[in-house]
Every structure is written in structure tokens, then in C-alpha cells.
Structure 1
């Protein structure tokens, strides 16, 4: 193993251990987040110093650093800052207000994934064919990597920062999802009503998960549940339970359907099918 790779692995392990110790030892949330931010900042400064003072043995190692080392630490740095801002800026007022703020954040995350769909797919699918363009310094191409700060020629490439943001938003999505689940339990407890056990149904949802997500968003935006006041999270939870499908990643699926040439394909098929049935009945 090259010495520089060993250095990065030791730094990463030390960084992870310090974060774990802070998470376990510090009970005050804001203090814990501030400490984690400082730990990430210190690690990034160490990485920058190493890169400034040394050279990589080759492009493969430079790609390794800017694709697998720096973005991981940078993602945590961004993530902790965003969680900190959530807790100092949003959690004021009623529980319902808090819930709407969190749902707004999820919409922002979904929009970011959609705006960077190509790079996100490249990262999630494990592609490597654009690595030299994305993760080697001095290879910036504004046609492929727009809106990127490429003027830091020492410690930045075209896409390492954008990749770190995508990783951070993945972490933030999970965090907010957990907060919303807690909010649903504490703020909107389900009413307890006496009812007879439902008979076992033989109906099975055979539509794709993307079709179910498309339907859920359509129902929310037309005010189908609770006079339009039901959250998309509550609707997806309801549909997951009723249809017996896994919708835990429904925001990722929503990003995927937004990127399609026809994002309302399933709804259009529903309308066309109903019209055919009406016409057949008329005949």
C-alpha cells in the first residue's frame, strides 16, 4: 500500500473515531454538532496541507483521493452544518410548523438531486468513465460541470465538492425522515376507534414503485386526503401499509420520475384507461 494511501486511511479512521466519541459523550445536541463540525474542519485542513505539500504518484491515486477520501469527510462537514442550522432556525413554534419546515427541506433535497441527476446516477451506479474529467485537477469543462467553483486548483476538482453535497443530502434525508417519523408520533397521534378485524384481502399491488409514488404525489397535490392538509410522508406511509410495498426511498423515486421525459406517465395511463372504459360503456 502506498504511503500516502496509508496516511489517508489513518486520518480517516482517526476522524471517524473522534466523531463516534463525540456522538457518545456529548449530551447537548448543539454542542455535539459544533464539535463534530470542528473535527471535520480540522481533518479537511490536514488533507489540504498534505495535497499542497506533495504530489500524487499518478492520476489513479488523484482520482482515489478526490472521489473517495475528500468527499466523504466534506459530506459530513456539510451535513453537520445543515443539521445545526435546522435546529437553531426551524424549531420554533408549534409542532405542525416544525413538520412543515422539515417537509420543505425534503423538497429542497429532492430538487437538488433532480438538478444534479447525472452526477448522482454516476456516483450511485459506480461509474468510472468520466473520472478523469470529474476528479482530476485542471480538467474542468463547463459544458459538463456547470456552476462549479474550479478556481481552487490545489484542493478542488470539477465534481468532488458537488459529490460531497450529494452525499451530505443523502445523510440529511435520512435524518429528516427520522425526525418526521418522530413528529408524526408526537404531534399527530392516530385516533383510536373500535372496529372489526378486516377480512384478509387477495388484492396485490402490481404497479411499479415509481407509479405508486407518482400516484401519491398526485393525490396530495389535488387535496385527496384531509382536505389537502395531509403530508406526503403520511400519504406514502399509508400507501405503503395498504399496498404492502416498500416506499422508504420514495423521495429518490420522485427524483427519478421528475427526470423522465414524461413525469406523469402513469397518471396519463390512468386517464386514458378510464376514458376507454367510459367509451366502451357508451357503446
Structure 2
């Protein structure tokens, strides 16, 4: 098949970077990404319909990993657009109350429909022994009392459980988004907007490169003996270089699954430093 997990993640990331570079409002970014992801999933569906899968392993891989990445982001951006178009216009009490309510709703939905399910525990544990049941088409068991959404899915392009994985992905993204709305001290965008000094200090490489550096410093325990979380480490760099890094969790996931070196920026740093050292010899 033409699509692989690495290609899909890279394609979505490139589109996010392209839209972000245009300096548009987040509400406009969410709208454009919703349209883009909707078209992408239609294209992938057309490819699956025309070419099918060469074997069971390919089908399982698609419905466990590839499709949920697209659908999860689509659900996320569509929800963000709906939230942003309905929120109060200022940062006052109503504004924070609105986003606190959204977060409470998300947590309630998570408790009622996701975290207490056997499938959630199966997926989060990394098990694969039942993938042939969960991620192959035609295996839906209606005796399990499944959510009514099962009657609306296309059985040729869904196993129902791929939708559940997409919901897990979208919920994680929404949780991070809502936290930054109700905790302004952890929202890099708001801090960056308030900074007036150090405008001559800015990051000139890609955001992926900075995220790679942030995770390396966090994983090594080089900052505060490793006693502060990844969010605070990233916030330091976002404020210093005046650049929002967005969703760290999924950026890190992209790093782990990208083709070639998973530490390309750190590799280049080492090479650059060694070349610089050689100049003094």
C-alpha cells in the first residue's frame, strides 16, 4: 500500500507546520486542518476500496495505527473548532469557567466511555493477541452491547475499534489543549505574547529539532536533576525562544516512528560540535 504510518504522520505534521507558518488564528488553523484531514481520510478510503490489503497483517496495522492517527486528529481539530467558535471573547471569569466546563465534560466522557473498558486496558498495555478480532473487518459482536455509533460506520472501512483508538488519541490531544486554556501560567502562547525583551534571541531550526532537544535534556535528567516534568522543561525553551511547540506528546510519538535516525538533530549537533572542535586543532 502507498500509505505507511511514518508517511501519514509526516504528511499531517507538514500540513500543520504549513498552516502554522501562516500566522493565522488557532480557530482558523483548526478549521483548515479539519478540511485537510477530512479530504485525507476520503483519499485513504478510496485507496483501500480500490486496492484492499495484501494480507491480514497489513489490514490489522492499518486499522490499529494508520487510520486512527488521521481520524483522531480529525476529531480533535473539529472539536477544537467547535469549542473556539463558542467561547467567550476575553480571558475573564466566564472564559475560564467555559474551558473548565469543557475539561470537566472531557473527563466525564473519558471515565464513562474510555478508561473503564476492557479494550482501553488492552490497547494501553500494548497487547496484540486480540488484534485479529479488534482490527479486522467483519468481526463486530453485537452481543457486546456496543455504542450505537457502530450502526453508522462503513463496515468496509472500519472495524469499530479503530474508531475507539481514534477517540483515545483525540481525548489526549483535547486534554492538553484545554489545560493550556485554563492554566495560563502553563500556556506558552500567552507568556510569549507578554514578553517584550530578548527579541533578538530566537530559534532558527525546526520545531521538531527543539522538541528533540527538550526531550533529550528531560530524559537525561540534566535539568533540576530530572525532578521537573517535560511540560515545564518545554515551557522554559518556549519562553526563551518565543516559539510555541504545540502538542509535545504526539510530536514525540512522531519522533519515535519516523524513518531514518530518530535523533537526527542530536546527531547533527554532535557532528557540528566535533567539526567546530577540529577547527581549533
| Matched residue, 2:82 | 85
Superposition deviation, residue 163 in structure 1: 1.4
Once the two structures are superposed, residues 160-216 of structure 1 have per-residue CA deviations (whole angstroms, 9 ceiling, x without a partner) of 11211121011000010011111899xxxxxxxxxxxxxxxxxxxxxxxxxxxxxxx
Number of matched pairs: 186
Superposition deviation, residue 111 in structure 1: 2.1
| Matched residue, 1:31 | 28
| Matched residue, 1:165 | 167
* Two-structure CA RMSD over aligned residues (Å): 2.6
Change (3 A) 1:23 1:143: farther
Counterparts of 1:35 and 1:8, CA distance in 2? 22
Counterparts of 1:163 and 1:100, CA distance in 2? 29
Change (3 A) 1:102 1:143: farther
Superposition deviation, residue 84 in structure 1: 0.9
| Matched residue, 1:14 | 11
Change (3 A) 1:102 1:59: same
Gaps of 5+ in 2: 188-226, 232-281
Counterparts of 2:146 and 2:181, CA distance in 1? 33
TM-score (norm 1): 0.59
Gaps of 5+ in 1: 186-243, 249-283
The structure 2 residue matched to 1:153, chosen from 152, 155, 166, is 155
| Matched residue, 1:237 | none
The structure 2 residue matched to 1:56, chosen from 27, 43, 53, is 53
Aligned residue for 1:157, secondary structure, equals coil
**2:63, 2:136 within 8 Å by CA — same for their partners in 1?**
yes
Counterparts of 1:24 and 1:95, CA distance in 2? 29
Counterparts of 1:145 and 1:133, CA distance in 2? 16
**1:11, 1:43 within 8 Å by CA — same for their partners in 2?**
no
Once the two structures are superposed, residues 125-184 of structure 1 have per-residue CA deviations (whole angstroms, 9 ceiling, x without a partner) of 212122122211100012446114255111111211121112101100001001111189
Counterparts of 1:5 and 1:73, CA distance in 2? 15
Q: Does 1:110 align with 2:107?
A: yes
Superposition deviation, residue 16 in structure 1: 2.1
Counterparts of 1:11 and 1:69, CA distance in 2? 7
Change (3 A) 1:75 1:7: closer
Larger Rg: 1
Change (3 A) 1:144 1:183: farther
| Matched residue, 1:135 | 135
Superposition deviation, residue 50 in structure 1: 0.7
**1:139, 1:158 within 8 Å by CA — same for their partners in 2?**
no
TM-score (norm 2): 0.59
Once the two structures are superposed, residues 82-131 of structure 1 have per-residue CA deviations (whole angstroms, 9 ceiling, x without a partner) of 11111111225772222222222222222222222223322222121221
| Matched residue, 2:270 | none
Change (3 A) 1:63 1:5: farther
Aligned residue for 1:26, secondary structure, equals coil
